[in-house]
């Protein structure tokens, strides 16, 4: 019988990978705290309606990527495909709309039924932030600065470029949408099948198509900047000026539209060429209409989400776990004593690996394999004298030390 396999698009995080992930989420959490963002955790599944309408029925996520099922009580629930809608739902459920601004950080697994490939999974992880209740460009600038600082802390700022665009306010967006529909309708026959479908449902998304023929047609499409009303152009100019002021470089990308329906004004992505086709590591924007759409008061918002797997792939080797002390009991009395000694050394803050079984040679091989810093050999005779043999596994030096001086000797090796 073949060994059991993980479900397609899911993966195990073995310790090395788990350490990389941990480094990404810890760095992000600590950096977010510097900006006053506090961690929030919402459920991994929600009623389907929490996602369906806010994200938009014509988006890829809602139309083909959600893990939706009816539970045993007959409720329709969905594994969260992203966390913005869940955070807004939590703000509304907990009656937090009066205490703005609200600043949240989150980290955790998301689920999308996608075709798995490098950097694209069905269960993946995101870190992200949401800033609710601030209508001015400072909020956009701060969340982008926070994203940039996290990338810098992870040592990958040099490998990404910030792309920036605006989708304007709803009025500008509606005018632009009409212009796009006019333009693309004239060339309908040349569009890819996907884009023909988008033409009725979500025409802005055509701009973001990867199809070569669509890309050719997109080159002559009307430009959003010509349809921005005064208020929207000012907003975008202020965002750019703020980024300039704090030295954050960016590239305007007129084709940058986000997949979700609820974005307004600023949209941005940090992209890299180092991950093949899955080059977007961190993406977000302003979503002023979302809270109201979800049944709350009019409340602006801006945020981003980043793929933990993609960030982890770009990070340099994370610092290893602290090196252990291997305890190697030899003989029955020593076995019993080793359990106690291991607890005492852990009380003193040492990482201790207890050899559970096998002869001396086998236990020393394990000490070697886990990269232990030192081995403490406990023989029955030595124990009777209240001592043990301490071996420095880097230098090979070895000496007998009194048990009550062991912690001091080990500390000297750290």
Q: Which of residues 236-255 bind ligand ATP (CB under 6 A)?
A: none
Toward ligand ATP, which CB reaches closer, 81 or 379? Answer: 81
Which part of the chain contacts ligand ATP (CB under 6 A), choosing from 111-119, 223-231, 334-342, 391-399? 111-119
Query: Can residue 366 be called a binding residue for ligand ATP (CB under 6 A)?
Result: no
Query: Can residue 278 be called a binding residue for ligand ATP (CB under 6 A)?
Result: yes
SS3 category, 377 = strand
Toward ligand ATP, which CB reaches closer, 258 or 363? Answer: 258
Residue spans of beta strands (DSSP E) within 55-186: 67-70, 76-79, 102-111, 123-132, 161-166
Q: Which of residues 4-43 bind ligand ATP (CB under 6 A)?
A: none
Residues 50, 86 contacting (CB under 8 angstroms): yes
Toward ligand ATP, which CB reaches closer, 29 or 366? Answer: 29
**Closest distance to ligand ATP from the beta carbon of 10 (Å):** 11
Which part of the chain contacts ligand ATP (CB under 6 A), choosing from 11-19, 118-126, 197-205, 344-352? 118-126
Residues 401, 390 contacting (CB under 8 angstroms): yes
**Closest distance to ligand ATP from the beta carbon of 273 (Å):** 14
**Closest distance to ligand ATP from the beta carbon of 312 (Å):** 11
d(CA 36, CA 282): 20
**Closest distance to ligand ATP from the beta carbon of 68 (Å):** 16
Q: Which of residues 49-88 bind ligand ATP (CB under 6 A)?
A: 82
Residue closest to ligand ATP (Cβ): 307
Query: Can residue 120 be called a binding residue for ligand ATP (CB under 6 A)?
Result: yes
**Length, in residues, of the chain:** 414
| End-to-end Cα spacing for the chain | 47
Query: Can residue 112 be called a binding residue for ligand ATP (CB under 6 A)?
Result: yes
Please name the residue ranges forming H helices in 258-370: 290-293, 308-314, 332-347, 360-369
Residues 204, 235 contacting (CB under 8 angstroms): no
**Closest distance to ligand ATP from the beta carbon of 200 (Å):** 21
- What is the contact mask toward ligand ATP in residues 126 to 155, using x (rule: CB under 6 A)? x-----------------------------
Which part of the chain contacts ligand ATP (CB under 6 A), choosing from 33-41, 116-124, 198-206, 223-231? 116-124
Query: Can residue 283 be called a binding residue for ligand ATP (CB under 6 A)?
Result: yes
Question: Within 10 A of 43 (CB to CB), how many other CB atoms are there?
Answer: 13
Pairing mode, strands 264-271 and 280-286: antiparallel
- What is the contact mask toward ligand ATP in residues 285 to 324, using x (rule: CB under 6 A)? --------------------xxx-xx--------------
Query: Can residue 194 be called a binding residue for ligand ATP (CB under 6 A)?
Result: no
**Closest distance to ligand ATP from the beta carbon of 127 (Å):** 9
Question: Within 10 A of 276 (CB to CB), how many other CB atoms are there?
Answer: 10
Query: Can residue 203 be called a binding residue for ligand ATP (CB under 6 A)?
Result: no
Number of C-alpha atoms within 13 angstroms, CB side, residue 182? 8
Size of the site for ligand ATP (CB under 6 A): 18
d(CA 198, CA 59): 9
d(CA 166, CA 233): 9
DSSP state of 76: E
Toward ligand ATP, which CB reaches closer, 153 or 309? Answer: 309
Among residues 121, 184, 235, 250, which is the contact residue for ligand ATP, using CB under 6 A? 121
**Long-range interactions of 84-87: CB distance < 8 A, separation 24+:** 84/54, 84/128, 84/130, 84/260, 84/287, 84/290, 84/301, 84/303, 84/305, 85/46, 85/50, 85/51, 85/54, 85/55, 85/290, 85/294, 86/42, 86/43, 86/46, 86/50, 87/40, 87/42, 87/130
Tokens representing 111?
Answer: 């689920």
Toward ligand ATP, which CB reaches closer, 310 or 391? Answer: 310
**Closest distance to ligand ATP from the beta carbon of 143 (Å):** 14
DSSP 382-408: HHHTTEEEEEETTT--EEEEEGGGHHH
Q: Which of residues 210-239 bind ligand ATP (CB under 6 A)?
A: none
Q: Which residues bind ligand ATP (CB under 6 A)?
A: 82, 112, 114, 119-121, 124, 126, 259, 278, 280-281, 283, 305-307, 309-310
């Amino acid at each position: 019988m073949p060994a059991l396999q993980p479900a397609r698009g899911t993966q195990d995080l073995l310790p090395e990978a788990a350490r990389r992930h941990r480094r990404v989420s810890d760095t992000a959490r600590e950096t977010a705290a510097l900006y006053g963002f506090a961690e929030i955790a919402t459920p991994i599944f929600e009623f389907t309606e929490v996602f369906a309408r806010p994200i938009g029925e014509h988006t890829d996520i809602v139309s083909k990527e959600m893990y939706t099922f009816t539970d045993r009580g007959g409720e329709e629930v969905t594994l969260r495909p992203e966390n913005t809608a869940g955070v807004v739902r939590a703000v509304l459920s907990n009656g937090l709309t009066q205490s703005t601004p609200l600043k949240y950080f989150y980290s955790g697994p998301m689920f999308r039924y996608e075709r798995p490939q490098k950097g694209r999974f069905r269960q993946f992880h995101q870190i992200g932030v949401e800033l609710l209740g601030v209508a001015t460009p400072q909020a956009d600038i701060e969340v982008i600065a926070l994203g940039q600082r996290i990338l810098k802390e992870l040592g990958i700022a040099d490998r990404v470029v910030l792309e920036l665009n605006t989708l304007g306010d709803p009025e500008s967006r509606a005018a632009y949408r009409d212009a796009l529909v006019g333009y693309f309708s004239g060339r309908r026959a040349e569009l890819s099948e996907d884009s023909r479908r988008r033409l009725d449902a979500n025409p802005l998304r055509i701009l973001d198509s990867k199809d070569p023929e669509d890309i050719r047609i997109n080159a002559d499409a009307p430009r959003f900047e010509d349809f921005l009303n005064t208020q929207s152009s000012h907003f975008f100019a202020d965002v750019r000026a703020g980024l300039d002021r704090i030295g954050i470089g960016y590239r305007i990308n007129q084709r940058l539209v986000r997949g979700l329906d609820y974005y307004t004004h600023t949209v941005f992505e940090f992209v890299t060429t180092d991950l093949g086709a899955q080059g977007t590591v961190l993406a977000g924007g302003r979503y002023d209409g979302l809270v109201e759409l979800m049944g709350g008061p009019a409340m602006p918002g801006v945020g981003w989400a980043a793929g933990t797997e993609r960030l982890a792939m770009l990070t340099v080797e994370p610092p290893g776990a602290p090196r252990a002390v291997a305890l190697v009991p030899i003989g029955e009395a020593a076995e019993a004593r080793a359990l106690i000694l291991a607890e005492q050394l852990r009380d003193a803050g040492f990482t201790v690996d207890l050899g559970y079984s096998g002869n001396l040679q086998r236990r020393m091989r394990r000490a070697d394999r886990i990269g232990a810093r030192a081995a403490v050999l406990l023989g029955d005779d030595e124990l009777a004298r209240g001592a043990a043999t301490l071996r420095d596994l880097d230098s090979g030096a070895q000496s007998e030390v009194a048990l009550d001086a062991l912690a001091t000797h080990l500390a000297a090796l750290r």
